[in-house]
Chain A
Amino acid sequence: MSFLAIKDVHHTYFTKVSATTALSEITLQVEEGEFVSFLGPSGCGKSTLLSIIAGLIKPTQGSILLENKPLSGAKNQIGYMLQQDYLFPWKTIEENILLGLKLSKQLNDETKNAALDLLKQMGLNGIEKQLPKQLSGGMRQRAALVRTLATEPKLLMLDEPFSALDYQTKLKLEDLVSNTLDAFGKTAILVTHDIGEAIAMSDRVILFSPSPGSIHKVFPMPDELRSLSPFKARNHERFSSIFQTIWKELESLESGKE
């Protein structure tokens, strides 16, 4: 049985004037340790699906199983990273990264030291007592990653976590996140609209088509790209041919819409 199983999920948003189906017939399995990307044009429901997997939204229909168990009891097993760091500006970096542990009542000397160690591993030394606004965008996003990893989630959700960063920082952070996840053997789902990022980081790219959001096509990445770090994968000779394939598929989705 798969690590994460998404079975026939439908989701509809209701407003006074309309009912919009954001997702329909999503069935998907993710294996332990796998890195999967959700790629698609905006409005294809990929962020909605992420919120459903994280247990933040209840789907209109369908079920999510994490290690064969329904999601409800599994809240702390899922870490979520947003487009911006959303570090609390009135808390120091230390208070920020220990927040998850505090809320789930796991805060003790051991977990605290582990979190602070992780901060050092991320290259953030001696900033524990600083406030988020004293840090650069890349450093803040790294601190946010530490905050997410501190509770040791089994599954990590990344909702366009690099989209607000400049290109250079983004490439560096892609490598850092990828290495960290490999080292901890974490399963991760990345939502992005950046084709290159999806190819460079993932084991599998899942292309979504919009209105209603559904899985259009699944692209498994070849082993030679999977074994490389994102930065090296971007320079691999097969990278551009895969990029072209996905690009054309995305184009066909756009033209099909009109």
Chain B
Amino acid sequence: MSQGKNNVNLLHKYYLHSLTIEKRWVRFYQVVIFLVFFTGWEFSSQQRWIDPLLFSSPSKIWNLFLEKFQDGSLLSNLGVTLTETVFGFILGTVLGTILAALLWWSPMLSKIIDPYLVILNAMPKVALGPILIVALGPGYPSIIAMGAIISVIITTIVVYTSFKEVDPNYLKVLQTFGANRFQCFKEAILPASFPTIISTLKVNVGLSWVGVIVGEFLVSSRGLGYLIIYGFQVFNFTLVFLSLLVIAVVATIMYQLVELLERKLIKE
């Protein structure tokens, strides 16, 4: 009996050990890819296999990073873009959810609006950029509007679909207790759709970055999008790559934060 139990414990230990080993190999190859990519980039740039003027090199980018970091201009530009993005995606998600609630509230309205939603969703929202800039003026409002507008329609569609898919029996339970439509929404529809809303938040983080960067391309005199377009205009591709890498890192961190929020809010 105890012999058998020891055996099981031993096997379990082996199993855990094999898991750890597998995880280490995965990490190892991830690091290898990272190192090969950047050393390859650096080396081929120094050997002039690729044009260093166009493709820059990691060491140049790093030096520029230190320089821009020390004079504070990188952080202030990053701050601008980050603020716009956060406002953009929160605004997009909230407005989308409110619109979805309106559509759920009035089935008639949703039938009327349906083709317009399809058209708006199909249309490339960044094409609205020039109009927004003229209407709202060049600055924060128009760029935040870009970040929001790019995600608001798709949020409306996804959240509205999730509202409609809530099991009607939950509503039946509420109706037998005499609940009105607002109570049905508050007690069943909204909480049941919470996971969907959070997951659209994740998608919207990515979308808002696109909207804000494009917005900065068009108008801004500050922000990472501005640095990219400025670097392009003065043919300083080191600056372009630096901004790109910073965006990649910060966008990843933001995505991870939203994922953390998701795990906190939905304690499954």
Contacts and interface: CB of A to CB of B under 8 A. Distances in A.
B148 to A, nearest CB: 28
Interface of B: 167, 169-170, 172-179, 183, 187-188, 191-192, 194
B172 A75 contact: no
Contact of B169 (A76, A84, A100, A104): A84
29 contacts: A56-B172, A56-B175, A75-B176, A75-B178, A76-B177, A76-B178, A79-B176, A80-B172, A80-B176, A82-B169, A82-B173, A84-B169, A86-B170, A86-B172, A88-B188, A88-B191, A90-B191, A90-B192, A90-B194, A99-B173, A99-B174, A99-B177, A103-B174, A103-B178, A103-B179, A103-B183, A103-B187, A104-B177, A104-B178
Nearest to B194: A90
Scoring B170, B177, B194 by chain A CB atoms within 10 A of each residue's CB, the highest score goes to B177
Contact of B177 (A82, A88, A90, A151): A151
Contacts of A84: 169
Contact of B176 (A78, A88, A90): A78
Contacts of B191: 88, 90
A104 B175 CA distance: 11
B193 to A, nearest CB: 11
* The 8 nearest A-B residue pairs measured at CB: A80-B176, A75-B178, A100-B177, A103-B177, A103-B179, A90-B191, A86-B169, A86-B173
Scoring B172, B188, B194 by chain A CB atoms within 10 A of each residue's CB, the highest score goes to B172
Interface residues of A, number: 17
A151 B194 CA distance: 28
B176 A56 contact: yes
Nearest to B167: A86
Contacts of B177: 75-76, 99-100, 103-104, 151
A78 B170 CA distance: 16
A145 interface: no
A185 B13 CA distance: 60
Contacts of B176: 54, 56, 75, 78-80
Interface in A174-209: none
Contacts of B192: 90
Interface string A53-83: 0101000000000000000000110111010
Nearest to A78: B176
Nearest to A101: B177
A82 B178 CA distance: 16
A77 B169 CA distance: 19
Contacts of B188: 88
Scoring A56, A90, A104 by chain B CB atoms within 10 A of each residue's CB, the highest score goes to A90
Contacts of A90: 191-192, 194
A100 B183 CA distance: 11
B187 A99 contact: yes
B187 to A, nearest CB: 7
Contacts of B179: 103
Contacts of A86: 167, 169-170, 172-173
B45 to A, nearest CB: 54
B172 A88 contact: no
Contacts of B174: 99, 103
A157 to B, nearest CB: 8
A99 to B, nearest CB: 7
B187 A82 contact: no
Nearest to B180: A103
Contacts of A104: 177-178
B199 to A, nearest CB: 16
Contact of A88 (B175, B178, B187): B187
Scoring B169, B173, B191 by chain A CB atoms within 10 A of each residue's CB, the highest score goes to B173
Nearest to A157: B176
A177 B173 CA distance: 19
A79 B176 CA distance: 7
Given A86-B169, A103-B178, 5 more contacts: A75-B178, A79-B176, A80-B173, A88-B170, A99-B187
A103 B175 CA distance: 10
Contacts of A99: 173-174, 177, 187
Contacts of A56: 172, 175-176
